[in-house]
Amino acid sequence: MHLGNAWSFLLCWLAVRSKGGTLVLRMEDIDPDRSRTEFADGIMRDLEWLGLDWDEGPDVGGPYGPYVQSERYGRYEEVLAMLEEQGHVYPCFCTRKELRALASAPHAEDYGAAYPGICLNLSAAERRERMEQGRKAALRLHCGDHFIGFHDVLRGDVCLTWEECGGDFAVRRSDGVFAYQLAVVIDDADQHITQIVRGDDILHCTPRQVLVYRLLGKPVPTYAHVPLVFDHEGERLAKRHRHFELCMLREAGIRPEAVVGYLACRAGLQPEPAPARPEVFRSRFRLEDIPLARVELEPDILDIMSRL
């Protein structure tokens, strides 16, 4: 985990703890190419170091387990079969090369190219022909609504066109891997999640998930998309920013109270960076008061935290 992950989880933790709710930790390891046991262990170790706990999760269990996506494939198959039977999904034979070529298609700024429905209206014979040619198919979810809206705690009512959300999206890849967009909705519904706090980089994905909730007849949770964390050059923190990883900060001798105190300051919870534990903010935390401006780290951020 890096500072951006810590920022989002801290705000989520405070949102839950300030309301006396139940915090759920779920390991979203659905992509086998990007998931390893040591990564999950590292996440829990980093959170514990910061003093951020959870009530249900892969290590402590809970009434709605399992809390690891790779152990829930059967459930995803069940729901996908239902959506397919109801006519909501269709096979897509487009190759990755063909999909990359869509980058030049009309699309909304910041959201990328929308899938234009190339395989939506293929006849049964055309689909059979492609299968006989050995072409593997992904499954895409079709939306007939032009606009999908939801309410965000920080941003109010949000309404996006289906094209702004990327168009019909894959719910299962051609290699059989289930899509995040499908899996998280099934998990959230099964685990009775009522509020989701996450980065605003996936705000445009939320209408996709709202649609799945509606198709499953499940209540839609409350959403809060919080601003992201950027380095001093304006680049969003990512895995390549190794020096901002919590394990690296820990090895450098920076205290967890320094990390929490700095992030709390950027959230408007205290006037200046000062060492703090998460629990000191829980009684006066209001999710709707989080500043909407993105968090840009100072060039000497590591020196700042090392002095706290």
Q: Which two tokens stand for residue 146?
A: 């032009």
**Nearest 5°: CA angle at 21, between 148 and 12?**
60
Do the Cβ atoms of 186 and 192 come closer than 8 Å? Answer: no
**Domains of the chain and any CATH numbers:** 3-23+39-53+230-306 (no CATH), 72-226 (3.40.50.620)
181 close to 76: Cβ distance less than 8 angstroms: no
- Render each residue's pLDDT in the chain as its tens digit; 308 residues: 999 999 999 999 999 999 999 999 999 998 877 778 888 999 999 999 999 999 999 999 999 999 999 999 999 999 999 999 999 999 999 988 877 776 544 433 344 578 989 999 999 999 999 999 999 999 999 998 778 999 999 999 999 999 999 999 999 999 999 999 999 999 999 999 999 999 999 999 999 999 999 999 999 999 999 999 999 999 998 877 788 999 999 999 999 999 999 999 999 999 999 999 999 999 999 999 999 999 999 999 999 999 99
Hey, is 1 helix, strand or coil?
Answer: coil
- Residue 139 pairs in a beta bridge with 91, 172
Both structure tokens of 175: 């290699």
pLDDT, one tens digit per residue, over 142-176 is 998 778 999 999 999 999 999 999 999 999 999 99
Strand partners, 197: 224
pLDDT number for residue 106: 40
HSE-up of residue 11 (Cα within 13 Å, Cβ side): 34
CA distance 31 to 178: 8
Q: What is the CA radius of gyration of the chain?
A: 21
What is the reported pLDDT for 100?
75
Residue with tokens 């390549």: 240
Q: What is the pLDDT of residues 57-96, one digit of tens each?
A: 999 999 999 999 999 999 999 999 999 999 999 999 998 8
The reported pLDDT for the residue numbered 102 is 61
Query: CB–CB of 183/255 below 8 Å?
Result: no
Written as one letter, the residue type at 36 is: R
Strands (E) in the chain, as ranges, are 89-92, 107-108, 112-113, 138-141, 147-152, 156-161, 169-172, 195-199, 222-226, 229-230, 295-296
pTM, rounded to two decimals: 0.92
pLDDT in the model for residue 112: 57
